[in-house]
Amino acid sequence: MQLSFPGTTTSTPLDYELSAKQRGYSAIAGIDEAGRGPLAGPVIAAAVILSDNFNLPGLTDSKKLSAKKREELYPLIRSQARAFAIGLVSAETIDRVNILQGTLLAMQAAVTRLQIPADYLLVDGISKIPLSSPQLTIKQGDSRSLSIAAASVVAKVVRDRIMCVFARHYPQYGFAEHKGYGTAMHLSAIARFGPSPLHRKTFRGVREYVPEP
């Protein structure tokens, strides 16, 4: 097999993984998150180490996939991964530390929970995870690395399912429809009912309705 590497004219979604393997790494984890932008609910991160013989046709950035396709890929990713894990940071913690730090904490938790310790990390975005593991941050990594794409699907499916559970406890907000994002319907519900315990009270669109202490 001819290898191609990031920055060459013939790039593929496995270039970053192949480059890491060329340098001697064997347990390469892709890490991504879901839920940085919503006004409610946790931020979820996933870490996935794909097997060498995985077969996941159609896998790409979760934002480019339909909910149906993500649900189809989710069990395939789980069954074909050498290891995968989830990290969750609550809205309360996000309010305390801010969304960037909350995201990095979720990513850190996901990596440390992997059944197989990762020896190299491919991280979506521009911020490194607070771990000593060798790692590479990749802008738009969920479109450029299959390991990160797999993590993006896992994180998105898990978060969407969590928000659908929350919808049964707080039906007035419509969480099952918008998953906590700031849609007109959601903003109207916040204005009418005030924030729930799931809302990020430091976020614009919510903080205006937080009662004064």
For 138, how many CA atoms within 13 A lie in the half-sphere containing its CB?
Answer: 27
Strand locations in the chain (E):
28-34, 43-50, 81-89, 120-124, 135-138
DSSP 24-49: T---EEEEEEE-SS-SBS-EEEEEEE
Give the residue ranges of the chain where pLDDT is below 50.
Answer: 1-10
Q: What is the pTM of this model?
A: 0.93
**Terminal CA-CA length for the chain:** 64
Q: Smallest Cα–Cα separation from 111: which of 135, 92, 144?
A: 135
Q: pLDDT tens digit string along 31-60?
A: 999 999 999 999 999 999 999 899 998 999
Domains annotated for the chain, with CATH where assigned, are 15-168 (3.30.420.10)
